[in-house]
A and B are shown apart, each in its own frame.
Chain A
Amino acid sequence: MWVISGFGGYFPDMKSQSVIIGLLMVAPACGSPAPGTLEINLFNAPQQHLRDIADRCTKRAGGRYRIVVNLLPRDANGQREQLVRRLAAADTGLDVLGLDVTWTAELAEAGWIREWTGADADRARAGTLVKPLETATWRGRLYAAPYTTNVQLLWYRSDLLATPPATWEQMMSAARRLAAERKPAYGEVTGAQYEGMMVWFNSLVASAGGAILTPAGGLSLGPPALRALQVMWAYATSPAADPALPNTREDDARLAVEAGRAAFEVNWPYVYASMAANRPEMLPYFRWAPYPGITGPGRSPLGGVNFAISRYSKHPREAYEAALCLRDPESQKIAATRDGLPPTLQAVYSAPGMAKVYPMRQAILDALETAAPRPATPVYQNLSTVVGAVLSPPADINPPKTLATLRRQIGDALRSRGVLP
């Protein structure tokens, strides 16, 4: 309706108006198997070959339904915003939702996504890696089927660093040495005031042996959190820190290494494919190593996407089926080999063709063993906002004082009290 009223003013005569409306109505129907087929609406972040995956599943549905791909914004906050606004309005136009791993608790608690039970749940669990499966679970119930997963690794230039640093301390000393030799010295990390800050902080706290929340969902943030803050502050004020650190997101980190400004970065594996495309001459000495730790081995951030079924879907049966097809081994293989998204099904890692695109697949599987999921809580968004605001810019962290502020504000956030910055 809004289209008609919105354009009506510019096209006063009925003839051109009806032409436009006709065009608008025809456009989305292009390429459909048959008019009137049931549509299952998938909402997901932009992914280049998602449409191929959806078309494959439409074909497999044998004309019972067809999957329509609806693209959400590129950034996680924008995606969540669009989903929750529609869900809060009980929009029946959503069926399958591609959820970031951190949203499960929030959407489940609000009653916006359906529980997976019986045969569907069994199929979603079969062969799925443990850590991704945990991110789809809330209070012991399964709320989504893991589609892709992700871990950060340390990516470094072997022409500058003979051995990769294993701890944040070693990263700083490596940078100090490189800076003294007047070589690119920066080690990129996501220090901007956004989700990436939470990702960094959470992994450091976990690497120090602690957690932000207790398993029951209460406030934890003990001595390991203090250790994490000390490391963040030390790093942000060391020669390893890019002056743009307080504004660095994943893409900025990737570009800084590709541009030759930085010697290493902690980032998701997509940087490998990007390096191959943008700077093929640098690829031979662009290497990976486990996520750095504090004293022992580090615990990598855990990302990924899970498929959930909207509470307001009018065709849940078909939606579950579509979701299962969209994350079956064949679909995950397309996502992995063509879009660089690590699979959640263990078996796909040894599929043919994976070795070429995923030379680092063993490192990913190893990191997945110990990866640190971000806290599971319905108020995750508040937690993340508070962490981003309190720790930004990282060079201004004053460990004991910042920890006290964090404890107070996260405590408020857990009770959904207080104001978000």
Chain B
Amino acid sequence: MNRLALWLCAPATVVMLAVTGWPILYSVLLSLRRADLRFPQDQEWIGLANYATVLSSPYWWTAFTVTLLITVVSVTIELVLGMAVALVMYRTVTGRGMVRTLVLIPYGIVTVAAAYGWKYAFTPGTGWLTGHAAPLTDPAGAIAIIILAEVWKTTPFMALLLLTGLALVPEELLRAASVDGATRWERFTRVTLPLMRPAILVALLFRTLDAFRIFDNIYVLTGGAQRTSSVSIIAYHNLIGGLNLGIGSTMSVLILVSVALLAALYVRVLPR
């Protein structure tokens, strides 16, 4: 019986290994090589030299800091806004379907298209959100706009995840608390939030991992100029632009490790 189960699982496992396991392993192997497509004759095993190069590069650490900054700030804002939107969606009595649909629109728009919208909005002379200032040309302004575009786009997703959590809070508990004299705020912080903890953590996990790999908004808005590269943008520049498979794969592996660490951190605090 057990053997049959293994056999039944085998095809799926083999496919998974082939399409995810092998590329990951191949990246790890590439990261240990000098592999620059422009110099096909100079390929060789170089151990951890690529890791030393990347980890000692100020460009990498700038990108890492920028990525962390964007992740922390955007996810924090999304959580607060998302919670507010979720409460609105949950408590709306009339036109509930309409409200939920409207809220989801930004999430339904293709990121690249939305990013171009933001880019033109902030183009001096023609943009409707700027006069003759050019906020996308200085790092602080550019990062603020990237975060704005991220928040605008993914708050609905956050709200949707939180909405499922809200639905788990039993109405009787809230009513009981209210009978005990708890204010609106106390009911929210003492009853709703603790009960929603698993949903909040799952939402945060999803969004943090997503935000850490941010690519399309930055690609369109600044292309990584003015020190706004995220780790994914800089990996892309080295891998696809520079054709340096070794350095690019090293960065990809480092991103994978960072994401895995973040995930492990969340899983640790998630209740079983």
A residues contacting B by CB (< 8 A) are 77, 81, 84-85, 88, 106, 109-111, 192-194, 243-247, 256, 259, 261, 378-379, 381-382, 385, 388-389, 392-393, 416-421
> Contact between A385 and B241 (Cβ–Cβ < 8 Å)?
yes
> Contact between B226 and A392 (Cβ–Cβ < 8 Å)?
yes
Q: Which listed residue, B134, B223, B242, touches A193 by the CB 8 Å rule?
A: B223
- The smallest beta-carbon distance between B21 and chain A, in angstroms, is 21
> Contact between B226 and A381 (Cβ–Cβ < 8 Å)?
no
A residues less than 8 Å from B247 (CB atoms): 419-420
| Given A84-B37, A110-B38; 16 other pairs, CB 8 A cutoff | A110-B243, A193-B223, A243-B134, A244-B134, A246-B137, A247-B137, A247-B225, A261-B125, A385-B241, A388-B225, A392-B225, A393-B137, A393-B138, A420-B238, A420-B242, A420-B244
- 29 intermolecular pairs with C-beta atoms under 8 Å apart: A77-B241, A81-B241, A84-B243, A109-B38, A109-B39, A110-B38, A110-B40, A194-B225, A243-B132, A243-B133, A243-B134, A244-B134, A245-B137, A246-B134, A246-B138, A247-B134, A261-B125, A381-B243, A382-B242, A389-B225, A392-B225, A393-B138, A393-B226, A416-B242, A416-B244, A417-B53, A419-B247, A421-B224, A421-B229
Q: How many pairs of residues, A versus B, come closer than 8 Å at their CB atoms?
A: 91
Query: Once bound together, how far apart are the Cα atoms of A243 and B39, in whole Å?
Result: 41
Q: Which of A389, A393, A421 has the most CB of B within 10 A?
A: A421
B residues less than 8 Å from A388 (CB atoms): 225
Knowing A193-B223, A421-B237, the reply to whether A88 touches B242 (Cβ < 8 A) is no
Q: Which of A245, A393, A419 has the most CB of B within 10 A?
A: A419
Query: Once bound together, how far apart are the Cα atoms of A84 and B244, in whole Å?
Result: 12
Does B20 count as interface, using CB distance less than 8 angstroms?
Answer: no
Does B54 count as interface, using CB distance less than 8 angstroms?
Answer: yes
Complex interface bits, B47-67 against A, C-beta within 8 A gives 1, otherwise 0:
000000110010110000000
From 99 to 138 in chain B, residues with beta carbon under 8 angstroms from any chain A beta carbon are 124-125, 132-134, 136-138
Knowing A110-B37, A192-B225, A193-B223, the reply to whether A421 touches B240 (Cβ < 8 A) is no
Query: Once bound together, how far apart are the Cα atoms of A362 and B138, in whole Å?
Result: 40
Q: Which listed residue, B125, B133, B242, touches A385 by the CB 8 Å rule?
A: B242
Q: Which listed residue, B53, B132, B224, B240, touches A419 by the CB 8 Å rule?
A: B53
Main secondary structure of the interface of A (DSSP, over half): loop
Query: Once bound together, how far apart are the Cα atoms of A256 and B37, in whole Å?
Result: 40
A residues less than 8 Å from B60 (CB atoms): 419
A residues less than 8 Å from B133 (CB atoms): 243
- The smallest beta-carbon distance between B53 and chain A, in angstroms, is 6
- The smallest beta-carbon distance between B26 and chain A, in angstroms, is 14
From 79 to 114 in chain B, residues with beta carbon under 8 angstroms from any chain A beta carbon are none
Does B30 count as interface, using CB distance less than 8 angstroms?
Answer: no
B residues contacting A by CB (< 8 A) are 36-40, 53-54, 57, 59-60, 124-125, 132-134, 136-138, 223-226, 229, 234, 237-238, 240-244, 247
Knowing A84-B37, A110-B37, the reply to whether A246 touches B229 (Cβ < 8 A) is no
B residues less than 8 Å from A88 (CB atoms): 37, 243
Q: Which listed residue, A110, A246, A256, A419, touches B238 by the CB 8 Å rule?
A: A419
Knowing A243-B124, A244-B134, A420-B59, the reply to whether A378 touches B226 (Cβ < 8 A) is no
Query: Once bound together, how far apart are the Cα atoms of A205 and B53, in whole Å?
Result: 30
B residues less than 8 Å from A378 (CB atoms): 38-39
B residues less than 8 Å from A261 (CB atoms): 125
- The smallest beta-carbon distance between B198 and chain A, in angstroms, is 32
> Contact between A259 and B125 (Cβ–Cβ < 8 Å)?
yes
Query: Once bound together, how far apart are the Cα atoms of A192 and B142, in whole Å?
Result: 14
Query: Once bound together, how far apart are the Cα atoms of A194 and B40, in whole Å?
Result: 27
B residues less than 8 Å from A417 (CB atoms): 53
- The smallest beta-carbon distance between B208 and chain A, in angstroms, is 25
- The smallest beta-carbon distance between A6 and chain B, in angstroms, is 16
A residues less than 8 Å from B223 (CB atoms): 193-194
- The smallest beta-carbon distance between A198 and chain B, in angstroms, is 13
B residues less than 8 Å from A194 (CB atoms): 223, 225
> Contact between B38 and A193 (Cβ–Cβ < 8 Å)?
no
Query: Once bound together, how far apart are the Cα atoms of A259 and B132, in whole Å?
Result: 13
